[in-house]
Structure 1
């Protein structure tokens, strides 16, 4: 072996450490070669690309170095140039071979060196990582913190939103083989994230992207969004999530304000296109009972049966609301009609001249097709028919997400941001009742990402687009009532982390700085 002179500034303990590292050069190079060969193959078995005897050999060589380094008080730093060569033990003839450090090998060694430094300060017992211990041999060194930390960091880097966006980018560029490779790697890797909501988000999005790439093996959710089970899941979201509950309350306040503008009558007629969300109507009955002042109010609710809300289920909702109204002393008339949009009229809906007419469109429009999918454009047709009814107020509550006509990659990014915030919100406000809500959210997210055309039910928009569509239909935005904003603000204060603000004529409800729902009133 070639002789050389030690630098004068190097301490004796540092020299011993370097000498002790020299025998590990060959195993380290072998380990790097295994990493290289593994990365060049597409046969990902989900197993770590190394063997036990190499790990034991390398870490065994490093054990003395750790003790020497930790006892050394020297602050010297020896830097290795990026173009340095390693001296190989293998020789041809009488000459040694100088092999340049490959970029990948250099990166591996840099990470190992950094872990050697950090390992002195971050000693962890092996029983803190039971999953890792289950795959290690019995004779593995007792101090496994260096390898463990690197393993967990690599797993966390795999399980990231960035990886999911990369898969979505590959799908949008028709590189399905690349997308499937990423998704397969995620599937066989464990998700080490400690935050529950983040774990669920990764799980839902992974499932959605797999359905997008391979719909035969992973059928996307289409029909299940119209089942009773999904309806109940959505109902639990609307009843327990503060951003949805308070959105309904803001809409009710606008309805009651419109009724107060006509004190000559105590009759309120509400046409609701999605009565399945009965929590809103329970709150409306409660508010009416408080405002009666000795003169009984009468609330007429007319709802339309469709493929999502059948007549029988709607009648059951009406029975429950009638019982509640009786206890509160409010007169209630509940009607279920079956009419096509083209047939809607004041006469068919039973509208009377002495009634205050209100139309509720809470979470209705986002599930209707528009001009990007259908020539008939059901969204605009519904708005035009509602405008023809000449209501005193129309309430609109929608999720704030660019998920309709946005490019696929943007849609995936929006879904990650929106549902990530929503899951965090649910975890904060209703952790013990989140199971059913999460099941509904999973179906909604998967449909948003995996489906296209008429199969895609989830078509959310941002408030700016809803505002433009309402204005094109001839509606004008009603000013946000200051008292209403103050009222809902007091309610939101009971849910830490949630926010409420007035913006562009809408009442915006959010979590962690992101708006999740927007309520607005029109006439």
Structure 2
């Protein structure tokens, strides 16, 4: 894969738009998703070759990611901005010279002051702060300048009172399928979060199903099923042969006349991989609001080992602040009634779900500062795919947190300790953290990724973070008897 050095993000975006390309992977990072009313039109995969899928999704022993990291390293050496890799600006950027001196602009403080003015409906003051922020914020600058650009967009949308409409137009912006698959590849190669999450879930399921002949995985939020090709590959080499595998892929319906088209396409792609690896395979597609799903819809058979998997998508379900009988708890109760052998849960460890805007804004600023700082340290600024990651994943999430309220705000993370309490109330007990999985994950992160990535454990949770800030957490559960 050739890494593209992008000098002008705006020209690239406009060319994508002029070609009318859809964004088949805009949720594929596994980091974010939208409710059904906000999902873009279904897509054709004709722009993405099977070889591209294989290179990104299949197990290569780390060779593909290693080659890409080397390529990115070469790019950073060639660019004059490579010195930024040594450290972050900490939110302060250089302004224009005044009297022979440069005045330092603290974008983090300006954003907070602007948010306070927006909350107070002081439009004049808010616009003054926005003007200052816009002078230094840019989607092509350093990490803090990029974050400020997207946070300012969110504040503008909130002030306009049209957050939902602007957010919807942002998430429906077309992007090349091949470009976004490359962005996902770069994310896997430079950041361990998704790679380790898939490893944790897949290894947990593999260990539990080592001797079974029939395995049923129910995946809440399957999206494009990027987690499963590598699992199928591993399953094919199981001693004694693979089991008969059934995957029930659950997602939200797409708008239009074919609400289940995307999840059905995921099933067809996984069936092709299963055929390649000679794994007996069946796929059931469910595209509806999760809280409306019943046990009968899931077609559970008693002769199968049942596993439930949900990585980072529970945060998009509404909680008690919107609905007393929240979809979050309804789905947990459904999972408990299924009585799975294991329920693998991955969560975004965030505190930016407060009902009060200023509190939420400050917490979101802390959270996304870490993520933009991470990208600043691991991917050169000029790489087009980094800009895609920032715009179509983190920028879009921030827009929703800042500009939307009530049921339209679908970014609602909780900390892993809050999830622990919620799961226990719902009748689950934690399973011990597998020491072998933890050791292998630590070794992989320490040997292949930036030194500031954190991998730790706390109370049977595997924690992943950046510079001491925990961003994601994984654990496994089963119904308490």
TM-score normalized by the length of structure 2: 0.70
> What's the CA shift for 1:179?
2.4
1:355 equivalent in alignment to 2:299: no
For the 8 Å contact 1:208–1:445, the answer to whether it is kept is yes
- After superposition, the Cα gap between the structure-2 partners of 1:316 and 1:380, relative to the gap in structure 1 and judged at 3 Å, is same
Q: Give, in whole Å, the separation in 1 of the partners of 2:175 and 2:422.
A: 32
1:295 equivalent in alignment to 2:250: no
- After superposition, the Cα gap between the structure-2 partners of 1:320 and 1:415, relative to the gap in structure 1 and judged at 3 Å, is same
Secondary structure in structure 2 of the residue aligned to 1:374: coil
Per-residue CA distance 1:197-216 (angstroms, 9 max, x = gap): 22211111111112112235
Q: Give, in whole Å, the separation in 1 of the partners of 2:163 and 2:248.
A: 43
Q: Give, in whole Å, the separation in 2 of the partners of 1:195 and 1:340.
A: 39
Q: 2:468 matched to which residue of 1?
A: 513
1:245 equivalent in alignment to 2:195: yes
For the 8 Å contact 2:310–2:346, the answer to whether it is kept is yes
> What's the CA shift for 1:367?
0.6
Secondary structure in structure 2 of the residue aligned to 1:501: strand
> What's the CA shift for 1:322?
1.8
Q: 1:492 matched to which residue of 2?
A: 445
Q: 1:161 matched to which residue of 2?
A: 108
> What's the CA shift for 1:192?
9.2
Q: 2:420 matched to which residue of 1?
A: 467
- After superposition, the Cα gap between the structure-2 partners of 1:207 and 1:434, relative to the gap in structure 1 and judged at 3 Å, is same
Q: 2:119 matched to which residue of 1?
A: 172
* RMSD (CA atoms): 3.0
> What's the CA shift for 1:486?
1.1
Per-residue CA distance 1:65-123 (angstroms, 9 max, x = gap): xxxxxxxxxxxxxxxxxxxxxxxxxxxxxxxxxxxxxxxxxxxxxxxxxxxxxxxxxxx
Q: Give, in whole Å, the separation in 1 of the partners of 2:133 and 2:180.
A: 27
> What's the CA shift for 1:400?
1.3
Equivalences for residues 113-124 of structure 1 within 5 A: none
Secondary structure in structure 2 of the residue aligned to 1:479: coil
> What's the CA shift for 1:378?
0.9
Equivalences for residues 99-110 of structure 1 within 5 A: none
> What's the CA shift for 1:174?
4.2
Secondary structure in structure 1 of the residue aligned to 2:352: coil
For structure 2, the residue ranges without an aligned partner over 5 or more in a row are 1-94
Aligned length: 371
For the 8 Å contact 1:233–1:439, the answer to whether it is kept is no
Q: 2:142 matched to which residue of 1?
A: 196
> What's the CA shift for 1:333?
1.3
Pick which of 275-284 and 210-219 moved more.
210-219
Pick which of 463-472 and 404-413 moved more.
404-413
Per-residue CA distance 1:139-184 (angstroms, 9 max, x = gap): xxxxxx87242xx31xx32x52011111222333444443232123
1:385 equivalent in alignment to 2:331: no
- After superposition, the Cα gap between the structure-2 partners of 1:318 and 1:236, relative to the gap in structure 1 and judged at 3 Å, is farther
Q: Which of these residues, 384, 387, 391, is aligned with residue 439 of structure 1? A: 391
> What's the CA shift for 1:453?
0.6
Q: Give, in whole Å, the separation in 1 of the partners of 2:336 and 2:168.
A: 31
Q: Give, in whole Å, the separation in 2 of the partners of 1:192 and 1:304.
A: 37
Q: Give, in whole Å, the separation in 1 of the partners of 2:160 and 2:324.
A: 29
Equivalences for residues 341-490 of structure 1 within 5 A: 341=290, 344-405=293-354, 407-431=356-380, 432=383, 433-440=385-392, 441-490=394-443
Q: 2:66 matched to which residue of 1?
A: none
TM-score normalized by the length of structure 1: 0.64
For the 8 Å contact 1:400–1:463, the answer to whether it is kept is yes
Q: Give, in whole Å, the separation in 2 of the partners of 1:242 and 1:356.
A: 29
Q: Give, in whole Å, the separation in 1 of the partners of 2:182 and 2:200.
A: 18
For structure 1, the residue ranges without an aligned partner over 5 or more in a row are 1-130, 133-144
- After superposition, the Cα gap between the structure-2 partners of 1:342 and 1:221, relative to the gap in structure 1 and judged at 3 Å, is closer
For the 8 Å contact 1:212–1:220, the answer to whether it is kept is no
Equivalences for residues 21-420 of structure 1 within 5 A: 147-149=99-101, 152-153=102-103, 156-157=104-105, 159-187=106-134, 189-191=135-137, 196-216=142-162, 220-222=166-168, 224-225=170-171, 236=183, 240=188, 241-260=191-210, 263=211, 265-290=212-237, 292-308=238-254, 310-338=259-287, 341=290, 344-405=293-354, 407-420=356-369
> What's the CA shift for 1:294?
3.0
